């Protein structure tokens, strides 16, 4: 984490701590931040429609809410009382990793080693895992835990195929408590690739596709560029 001392309003001093990668962001922080990616997409649509004032407003809100969701020490309302140029510069400097961070294959969490399986040559066991995943996410009824289910099914501590529901549930609770979003991002990235290689049509399981997109989304710096473009247009 990187720390900044900022003035909110005239006197209030706040210490903002920003993550330097997905390895410093929790699963639930990411879930909270994701909806503001959609807000930035709305801003882009407003810009394309010539609604420059709305695009400017939504760009500012998207950037500020993403920072507040992924960082610690400052709320969204407090960020609105801080000089905008400082907020925008922090977003460009400290959140660049959102657009290019590479997925990883191996993780070590609390002394336990987990490996994402190699899907270059899909096995019968891999295929069964996919089917178990689709069934589990259908039955869970809890969208917020879908990423946890996906990670628990695929991240194993051994390379041998096994189908152990108790072990999956144990990993799910372990990841909920200790894992960071880089783990979920990597699993979703390689799972998406594996589903394509296995040629499994999961369009009917839209909730799975939505979760994979959520976990691999890039909340990148184009929102700042859009803000500049929209605000310049609004002044014309």
Residue range 147-172: mean pLDDT, rounded: 77
Mean pLDDT of the chain: 79
User: Residue 200: what pLDDT?
Assistant: 62
Residues in a beta bridge with 109: 112
CA distance readout (Å), 178 to 9, 49, 150:
36, 44, 16
Residue range 109-136: mean pLDDT, rounded: 74
Residue 162 binned pLDDT confidence (cut-offs 50, 70, 90): low
Q: Is the pLDDT of residue 161 over 60?
A: no
How many other CB atoms are there within 10 angstroms of residue 144's CB atom?
11
The residue with greater pLDDT, 154 or 186, is: 186
Residue 111 binned pLDDT confidence (cut-offs 50, 70, 90): very high
CA distance readout (Å), 170 to 125, 129, 178:
20, 16, 12
User: Residue 183: what pLDDT?
Assistant: 92
User: Residue 159: what pLDDT?
Assistant: 59
Three-state secondary structure string covering 69-110: HHCECCCHHHHCCCCHHHHHHHHHHHCHHHHCCCCCCEEEEC
How far apart, in whole angstroms, are the C-alpha atoms of residue 41 and residue 196? 26
Q: Is the pLDDT of residue 63 over 60?
A: yes
H helices of the chain, in order, are: 27-48, 52-70, 76-79, 84-94, 124-140, 146-154, 165-178, 181-198, 206-216, 222-235
Q: Give the three-class secondary structure for 7.
A: strand
Q: Is the pLDDT of residue 150 over 60?
A: yes
User: Phi-psi bin for 50: left (phi > 0), alpha (psi -120 to 50), beta?
Assistant: left
pTM: 0.77
Residue range 176-200: mean pLDDT, rounded: 81
What's the distance, CA 235 to chain centroid?
34
Q: Is the pLDDT of residue 235 over 70?
A: no
Q: Is the pLDDT of residue 180 over 90?
A: yes
User: Phi-psi bin for 12: left (phi > 0), alpha (psi -120 to 50), beta?
Assistant: beta
Which of 206, 217, 180 is closest to 62 using CA atoms?
217
Which of 197, 193, 132 is closest to 161 using CA atoms?
132
User: Residue 99: what pLDDT?
Assistant: 76
How far apart, in whole angstroms, are the C-alpha atoms of residue 69 and residue 34? 9
């Amino acid at each position: 984490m990187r720390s900044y001392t900022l003035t909110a309003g005239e006197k209030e001093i706040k210490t903002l701590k920003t993550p330097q990668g997905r390895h410093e962001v929790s699963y639930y922080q990411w879930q909270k931040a994701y909806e503001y990616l959609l807000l930035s997409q709305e801003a882009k649509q407003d810009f394309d429609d010539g609604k420059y004032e709305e695009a400017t407003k939504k760009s500012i809100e998207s950037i500020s809410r993403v920072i507040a969701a992924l960082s610690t020490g400052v709320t969204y309302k407090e960020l609105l009382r801080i000089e905008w140029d400082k907020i925008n510069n922090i977003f460009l400097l400290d959140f660049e990793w959102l657009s290019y961070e590479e997925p990883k294959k191996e993780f070590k969490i609390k002394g336990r080693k987990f490996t994402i399986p190699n899907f270059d040559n899909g096995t019968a066991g891999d295929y069964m895992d996919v089917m178990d995943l689709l069934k589990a996410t259908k039955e869970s009824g809890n969208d917020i835990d879908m990423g946890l289910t996906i990670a628990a099914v695929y991240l194993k501590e051994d390379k041998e195929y096994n189908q152990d529901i108790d072990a999956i549930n144990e990993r799910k609770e372990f990841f909920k408590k200790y894992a960071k979003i880089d783990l979920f991002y990597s699993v979703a990235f390689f799972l998406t690739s594996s589903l394509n290689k296995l040629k499994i049509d999961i369009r009917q399981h839209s909730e799975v596709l939505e979760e994979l997109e959520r976990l691999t989304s890039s909340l990148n710096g184009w929102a700042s560029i859009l803000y500049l473009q929209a605000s310049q247009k609004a002044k014309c």
